[in-house]
Structure 1
């Protein structure tokens, strides 16, 4: 059993945020004998890489979420709390929560993640739909359903969709929406003409999936076009209106629903914590991922701003969370904290049924059906809970291998 040198008892670690980083830090700490309190504003953790499937009615909200109390129950020394962080008192080693309570800590781990970045684009916040949380996905899902019902009933003329941002989320969202438009709508909404719907993907670069090699970018773009996605590459956004997306050259793209997949930034409330911030509002940390002036405070995941920037992906968050847990246990044993070193396993994204791109750290690339099967296997493996894994597998089978009408499941 690890012990805090000052008191001779196991250290109490407060982990704020139940994302990839927070869960992995909690697991590492609890396995090492530390007392852990996992705090999150929601009573569940979300598997964000599959939120676009929830938004397009391929999965239910429960398929991509898992109760934090069920996770904490796996470890005798871990507890979960539903609350949001409001203030940090480093000198007193205490945090205040929005339910009016406080928690004392020996070590603090901040893994609250980031939020949608609107980049100051006029109208973006008011007229766009982000997909960063379960709530976002449900709101977008209902909006899409409402549009289709209104077009089918003759109450409106079109259901054109514009996706802003051609990173992995934007590409996956556009590809899935285009597949539904071509394969499912003709069966489930025969009243709607193909001319009344469209999917457009807008990207400021001249290519999609910027972190990938040109071969994979071209393969993804070709697959999107094959599915009917209109690509507007090399296009800079000027503003978003209620019924259109306006480009910097004055072009107006009709849009009945604008999906925002452009980027993320630290939430505004992070500035009130009194900790140093860097690019994108992220908290500045040392190579070991702790705050220089307060070495007992660690930051992991998207909220962390280490000296060497890392991609805003699941794998860096997972590895950072585990590293933070290991370093806290080391400090509790009187050993110094070691710097974090990221082991890049590669990146992948899917375009739709039978098509994905995979790029490994050793330079190996792959696209098509093998990459798509690997994408499914990896995502199912990382889901929490056996029920979720089975449910997602069945849902994927129905959406991609079942009759076309099976991909149209919508739950109010």
Structure 2
């Protein structure tokens, strides 16, 4: 079977969703394909994993986003292959779909950097499946430790970027408030969180002032820092660091970076750093006419030629910009080079603490004011009114009443349900 569309968008992350929505508003016939029937808000996945919010707060059915945009068709299917020369997409079911213009916003996969044992034993945190798996594993680990009074509970988080810092901070906060309250102070005293990165400082993209505040805050809530030293081995019972340090642990969280996935590798496009595609300033692939690559699948540059970070704000803006260029392609207009509006960076470090560097001039905030700003910005960015209400309720319940969402583990299945 072969269908033809004006535009096919593969991937319903920030970039793909933004591109399809913008094109739909212009009446362009779009097919949006994703292996899941929901859009996930990745910046808050660590909060799902640490039971701060439920799954329903960070996921939204894709069809509900486009219910009023009749020119956009949503298909839930796994894409097995893309042919960039002929602008075709083949699903795992064998269907072939053709478009005038192809948009690849296929995301990325965890990059374990060939670290022995990491892919087998570490838990990544890039999808809602990863987050629920991590939440389940952490709850099971605590349940087991509660029956073993002499066994320490060591959790290792690899990666000192925003995801690693936020995850380590949230876990340390859980030990202080949740484990103490719902298990026992004795168990909380046996729990430790380690943060490891081969880079000498946390939050490498932030200013030295923000890095120092983050370092002090993490230490204050009990996170043990191992900075400037890489992980050389991951085992089922712990990790080994490059300086010879051995950390016994039954849980390793991998927040060490991303790379392009197998779909890009088999697409025929030339891959650059991190397995991603180096796109032109107008967001098209330099070697394939009529093919746009966006989001975590692309290396996107600013007006100076510097690579932009893999952030949701970059992906969202690139999706909208690509839609304008695609509309110009379809109507005889002229593409324009992408102009990114730098909104800065944010990272939460625990209850009442965060760092924020806002705008191109990097207005720096630390502490409670940055924490409130973080909450406000992420609440505004969530897709859907129901999702915003659920997140707000969870934050009030967790940060004010110290009663977080609970993770329920059913039987022997490795599944988690945020309530």
With the shorter chain as reference, the TM-score category is over 0.9
Give the aligned partner of residue 408 of structure 2.
Answer: 411
**Match 1:51 to one of 33, 45, 49:** 45
Instruction: Work out whether 1:339 is the aligned partner of 2:333.
Output: no
Aligned runs of 1:184-223 on 2, under 5 Å? 184-190=178-184, 192-223=186-217
Work out the CA distance in 2 between the residues paired with 1:156 and 1:147. 14
Give the aligned partner of residue 15 of structure 2.
Answer: 21
Structure 1 contact 188–408 (Cα < 8 Å) conserved: no
Work out the CA distance in 1 between the residues paired with 2:160 and 2:285. 33
What CA RMSD, in Å, does the superposition of the two structures yield over aligned residues?
1.6
Instruction: Work out whether 1:358 is the aligned partner of 2:352.
Output: no
Structure 1 contact 54–61 (Cα < 8 Å) conserved: yes
Instruction: Name segments (4+ residues, structure 1) moved above 3 Å.
Output: 191-195
Work out the CA distance in 2 between the residues paired with 1:47 and 1:313. 12
Instruction: Provide structure 2 residue ranges, at least 5 long, that are not aligned to the other structure.
Output: 410-419
Instruction: Work out whether 1:99 is the aligned partner of 2:93.
Output: yes
In structure 2, the CA distance between the partners of 1:156 and 1:61, relative to structure 1 (3 Å rule), is farther
The alpha carbon displacement at 1:172 in A equals: 0.4
Q: Provide TM-score, normalisation by structure 2.
A: 0.92
In structure 2, the CA distance between the partners of 1:74 and 1:159, relative to structure 1 (3 Å rule), is farther
In structure 2, the CA distance between the partners of 1:191 and 1:231, relative to structure 1 (3 Å rule), is closer
**Match 2:328 to one of 327, 330, 334:** 330
Aligned runs of 1:242-257 on 2, under 5 Å? 242-257=236-251
Aligned runs of 1:3-402 on 2, under 5 Å? 12-154=6-148, 157-190=151-184, 192-306=186-300, 308=305, 309-360=307-358, 361-402=360-401
What secondary structure sits across from 2:184 in the alignment?
A: coil
Structure 2 contact 123–253 (Cα < 8 Å) conserved: yes
The alpha carbon displacement at 1:367 in A equals: 0.6
The alpha carbon displacement at 1:339 in A equals: 1.1
Identify which range, 149-158 or 54-63, moves more after superposition. Answer: 149-158
Structure 1 contact 150–156 (Cα < 8 Å) conserved: no
Instruction: Provide structure 1 residue ranges, at least 5 long, that are not aligned to the other structure.
Output: 1-9
Identify which range, 166-175 or 287-296, moves more after superposition. Answer: 287-296
The alpha carbon displacement at 1:91 in A equals: 4.0
Structure 2 contact 149–187 (Cα < 8 Å) conserved: no
Work out the CA distance in 2 between the residues paired with 1:37 and 1:269. 18
Work out the CA distance in 1 between the residues paired with 2:105 and 2:96. 18
CA displacement 1:67-121 (0-9 Å, x = unmatched): 1111121312111001122222344332111122121211111001111000010
